[in-house]
Structure 1
Amino acid sequence: MSKATHPHTLKLPREDNGLATSKAATRRIQGILPVFLENKIIEAEANGLVVPLDGSVESTVAAALAVDGIGADYVTGLVMPVQLNDEAPARTAETVASLLDIECHRLQLQPVLTAFQRVVGDTGEPTDDLVAMQNASERFRMACKYYVANTRNELVVGTVPRTDRLLGSVAKYGENGTDLSLFGDLYRTEIAALADALAVPSEILDHSSQPLDHTSATDAAELGIDQTELDSILHFAIDKDCSAPVVADRVGVAQSVVERAIQWCARTRHKRHTPPKPSMDH
C-alpha cells in the first residue's frame, strides 16, 4: 500500500431533499471513503481491514470501497450466519466476496448461541427472549470480528448507516462496535445511490434487501413512509436542527411523523454515546 493523501474538505452537493445522491455527490464520496480507509490503515500501522459481510447493500458497498482503498489482498470478509433463514443472505455475501476476490471466511455461530443459551439457562434466566438473543448474536459477531482483527493486526470496518445509528436500529455494543464507522455520515438512501455508482451487480442488490437477522418491518415502514422520506427527515431534523413543522413542510409528510422520528432518535440516544458517569470533583 502506498502512502495515502488527504482529500480536500468540501461540502457534498445535495438534492432538494437534503440528501447527497447525485452523480456529483457519489463521485465525491467515492473519492473520500477509500482514501479515509487507507489513511486509517497507515495511521494505525495495521495490516488490513476486516469487513463483515451480511448480504446487505451496506456491507457490499463497504467491501468494494475497502478494495478500492487498500487492495483486495488486504481485505478479509467475514460471513457470520446464526439462524437457518440467514443462509440466503450468507450465500449472497459469499458471492460478493468472490466477485471482489477477497479472502472470506464463514463462521457458523449457531453452536455458539446454543451453548450460550444452555449456560444462561443454568442461571434460571429466560433463553427465549427474541430481542435479547438477537442482541447476543450481534455481540458474538462483534467478538468474532475483533478476534480475527486482533490475530491479523487489522482494523474492523463498520457498515452501519447513519439512518440506523440515529434511530438506534442496532444492538448496543454489537454492530456499532468497530474501529472505523465508514457510513457514519451517510444515510441508507445515499449508500444505495453509491452502490449504483459503483455498478454493484443488480442480482446482488436484489438479494441485499434482507441482511442476516433481518426483521419483517423496516424503520421507514413502521413510520408509514419510504426510505428517502425518512432519511430526509433525519437530515433536516438532526443534521440541520430544523423544527418539526419546517421539516414536515420540506419533506411533505405529516408533522406527527416527524415528531415520532425525532422522539425515536431521542429514546435511543444512549446507543450513540459513552455510558453516563457520575461527576467527581477532581
Structure 2
Amino acid sequence: MTMADSDAPLADLPRSSDGLATTDDALARLRERLPRFLEERVADAGADRLVVSLDGGVETALAATFAVEAVGQDRVTGLVMPAFLSHEAVSRNAEAIATALGIEHRRMQLQPVLAAFQETVGGSDGPADDLVATNNALSRLRMACAYYVANTTNALVVGTVNRTQSLLGSVTKHGETGADCLLFGDLYRTEVEALARAVGIPEELTVETSGSPLHPGESPATELDVDPETVDRILRCRIDEGVDAAVVAERAGVDVKLIERLETWSERTSHKRCRPVRPSTGA
C-alpha cells in the first residue's frame, strides 16, 4: 500500500493504547491548538472573518465552536444549505447551533439553484436520474456559495472533512475538500467525536446527526459489520503506522479480508486526495 499521502498526523499527541488521540491530554492540547490554528490562518491571510457550512452534524458544530473561540462570534458566518425536504430536520439543528453560538447565519435553499443547474447543463431530468452526480453537484454548489460569501466579506472558508472521510474517499472531489483549511484533516472521526464531547457538544447531536444527509458521502464503513471506531483503529494502525495487515487484523479482532477491503477502498479513492496531475509529475 502506498503511504504517499499518509504521514502520521499530529505525531506529537499522546495517544491511547489503540493509537487514537482520545486521551484527556490529547484532547486538551487539541482544544488549544485548533482555535489557534484558525486564528493564525486568518491573520496570515489578512482576512476579517471565517465562514463555516453547518449541516447539523458534530463536525460542523465543533468547527463553528472553534471558529468563535478563534476570532469571536461577531466574525463568524454560518451557512445552512438544504436542497430537499429531507434536509429540513438537520437544517433546523444547524440553525439551532448557530443561534446557540450567537453567530450570524443564513439559510440558502439550493433546490432552485440545483434545478436551474441541471436544466442548463442538460442530461438529467432531476435528482433521481443520477444520485451520485446530483450529490456531487450539490457539494460543489455549497462550496461555491461558501466562497461567494467569503469573497464578499473578506473571509476564509473552514473545511470540516476528517481523516476517516479523506482516507475512505467519502468526500466529493472539489467539493467539501475545496476549502481554505481542513480543520479536522488530521483527525479520525472517533477523535473528532471525542473532542466534541470534551468541548460539550450535545451527545444526541454526536450520535444522531453525525454523517448528515446534507453530505451523504459514500463510505465502506457503513457497509461493513464493524463499528466506526474499529475502522479508525485499523486505518491508524495500517496507514499511519504501516503495521502488517495480518497484525492489524489480529489486534482489531477482525478478518484480514476486512483490512484488505479498506485498503482497496482507500487506494481506489486516492485520486480525491491528490492535486491535479501536471505533465511534470506524470500520471
TM-score, normalising length: structure 2:
0.91
| Residues 211-241 of structure 1, C-alpha deviations (whole Å, 9 max, x = no match) | 1435498632312210110001111111111
AA aligned to 1:41 is V
Distance (Å, rounded) in 1 between the aligned partners of 2:236 and 2:76: 32
Match of residue 42 from structure 2: 41
| Residues 119-171 of structure 1, C-alpha deviations (whole Å, 9 max, x = no match) | 223xx466511100110000000100100001111000000111001111011
Match of residue 185 from structure 1: 186
- Give the Å deviation of 1:70: 1.3
Match of residue 145 from structure 2: 144
C-alpha distance 10-163 of structure 1, shift in aligned 2 (>3 A): closer
| Residues 240-265 of structure 1, C-alpha deviations (whole Å, 9 max, x = no match) | 11221121122221111111111111
**Does the CA-based 8 Å contact 1:168-1:271 persist in structure 2?**
yes
Distance (Å, rounded) in 2 between the aligned partners of 1:109 and 1:215: 16
Question: Mean alpha-carbon deviation: is it higher for 194-203 or for 30-39?
Answer: 194-203
AA aligned to 2:61 is T
- Give the Å deviation of 1:85: 0.5
Distance (Å, rounded) in 1 between the aligned partners of 2:164 and 2:194: 15
Match of residue 132 from structure 1: 133
- Give the Å deviation of 1:84: 1.0
Match of residue 267 from structure 1: 268
**Does the CA-based 8 Å contact 1:81-1:87 persist in structure 2?**
yes
**Does the CA-based 8 Å contact 1:96-1:204 persist in structure 2?**
no
Partner of 1:144, secondary structure, is helix
| Residues 14-41 of structure 1, C-alpha deviations (whole Å, 9 max, x = no match) | 1111111121111011011000000111
Distance (Å, rounded) in 2 between the aligned partners of 1:212 and 1:75: 24
Match of residue 224 from structure 1: 225
Partner of 1:223, secondary structure, is coil
Distance (Å, rounded) in 2 between the aligned partners of 1:230 and 1:210: 15
Match of residue 253 from structure 1: 254
Distance (Å, rounded) in 1 between the aligned partners of 2:58 and 2:281: 45
AA aligned to 2:175 is G
Match of residue 4 from structure 2: none
Partner of 2:223, secondary structure, is helix
Match of residue 70 from structure 1: 71
Root-mean-square deviation (Å) = 1.9
| Residues 92-135 of structure 1, C-alpha deviations (whole Å, 9 max, x = no match) | 000000010011011110000111121223xx466511100110
Partner of 2:156, secondary structure, is strand
Question: Mean alpha-carbon deviation: is it higher for 240-249 or for 218-227?
Answer: 218-227
Match of residue 51 from structure 1: 52
Match of residue 236 from structure 1: 237
C-alpha distance 69-175 of structure 1, shift in aligned 2 (>3 A): same
- Give the Å deviation of 1:206: 4.6
Distance (Å, rounded) in 1 between the aligned partners of 2:158 and 2:54: 10
Partner of 1:66, secondary structure, is helix
In the alignment, structure 2 segments of 5+ residues that lack a partner are 1-9
Match of residue 211 from structure 1: 212
Match of residue 158 from structure 2: 157
| Residues 41-62 of structure 1, C-alpha deviations (whole Å, 9 max, x = no match) | 1111100100010011100111
Match of residue 109 from structure 1: 110
C-alpha distance 216-46 of structure 1, shift in aligned 2 (>3 A): closer
- Give the Å deviation of 1:201: 2.3
Partner of 1:231, secondary structure, is helix
Question: Mean alpha-carbon deviation: is it higher for 239-248 or for 218-227?
Answer: 218-227
C-alpha distance 125-199 of structure 1, shift in aligned 2 (>3 A): closer
Partner of 2:274, secondary structure, is coil
Distance (Å, rounded) in 1 between the aligned partners of 2:194 and 2:248: 23
**Does the CA-based 8 Å contact 2:172-2:217 persist in structure 1?**
no
Distance (Å, rounded) in 2 between the aligned partners of 1:26 and 1:186: 11
